[in-house]
A and B are shown apart, each in its own frame.
Chain A
Amino acid sequence: GQQLNQSPQSMFIQEGEDVSMNCTSSSIFNTWLWYKQDPGEGPVLLIALYKAGELTSNGRLTAQFGITRKDSFLNISASIPSDVGIYFCAGKGTMGFGNEKLTFGTGTRLTIIP
C-alpha cells in the first residue's frame, strides 16, 4: 500500500533536546496530521494542518504544512521523558469532502537516553 516517506526512522536524544522530523509525499495532500502512538495503544492526534504554509503549535510541539502540499514537519522543543513513542504523519488527499482515507508515514521512533 501507499506510504509517506518519513524521516528519520528513529532518534536517540537526551532529555531537553529539540527534535525535528518530516514527511514527504509524491502526492498532494489537503490535510496533514501528526499522531503519536504509545506501546499497546492507538495513535493519538497531536496536530492537524489544513492549509499550505500553515504553522500550528500545541504546547512544545510545532508542525508545518509545506508550501508544495507534499511535505510536513514536526518539531518538539525541550523533550521530556513522556515524549518517548512513535510519531506518525498522515496525509489526506483530494478525493473529495468526507473521504476518510489516511495515508500514513512509516513512523519515527523517539527514544530518550538517560
Chain B
Amino acid sequence: KAGVTQTPRYLIKTRGQQVTLSCSPISGHRSVSWYQQTPGQGLQFLFEYFSETQRNKGNFPGRFSGRQFSNSRSEMNVSTLELGDSALYLCASSRPGQGGTGANVLTFGAGSRLTVL
C-alpha cells in the first residue's frame, strides 16, 4: 500500500513569506503528526491531528499551524517565514490500535525540505 506522501519535496522561500505543506497519510490512518528536523535541534514535535482536531501541540510559535481534513489529509502552514525555519518538515501517520498496549507506531513520509533565504 502507498506510504505517507508529502508535497512538495523541496521548496525555497524568502523571509516574510508563508508556506503550506501537504501530507497524505497511509490509507486507514487517522492520526497525522508533524515534526521539524534541523541539524541543531534534531527532530522536534510540532503538532498532531486526529479526526480533524488538533490533539497535541509542541512548543512552536503561533506562526506554525496546521489542519486536517475529513479524508485525514493534513496541511501545515508557516507564516512570516524566518531564516531559522529552514528545515526538513516530516509528516507521520498512524492507525489507532496498531501495535501493542495501545501504542501507535508512526510511519514517516520523506519530508518537505524548506529553505528560507
Contacts and interface: CB of A to CB of B under 8 A. Distances in A.
Given A1-B58, A48-B99, A100-B48, A42 B105 contact: no
A3 B58 CA distance: 13
Contacts of A3: 42
Contact of B31 (A35, A40, A48, A100): A100
A73 interface: no
Contact of B109 (A35, A42, A99): A42
B101 A50 contact: yes
B43 A88 contact: yes
A50 to B, nearest CB: 4
Contact of A100 (B56, B59, B100, B101): B56
Nearest to B9: A40
A35 B43 CA distance: 12
Interface residues of B, number: 32
A92 interface: yes
Contact of A44 (B31, B42, B44, B108): B108
Interface residues of A, number: 30
A42 B4 contact: yes
Given A1-B59, A30-B103, A50-B99, A100 B33 contact: yes
A21 B69 CA distance: 39
B3 to A, nearest CB: 9
A97 B103 CA distance: 7
A97 B106 contact: no
A40 B108 CA distance: 12
Nearest to B57: A101
A40 B50 CA distance: 27
B42 A100 contact: no
A50 B50 contact: no
User: Of B43, B94, B102, which is in contact with the most chain A CB atoms at under 10 Å from its CB?
Assistant: B43
A94 to B, nearest CB: 11
Given A1-B44, A33-B105, A102-B35, 11 more contacts: A35-B108, A41-B110, A42-B4, A42-B108, A45-B105, A88-B43, A98-B104, A99-B56, A100-B31, A102-B33, A107-B42
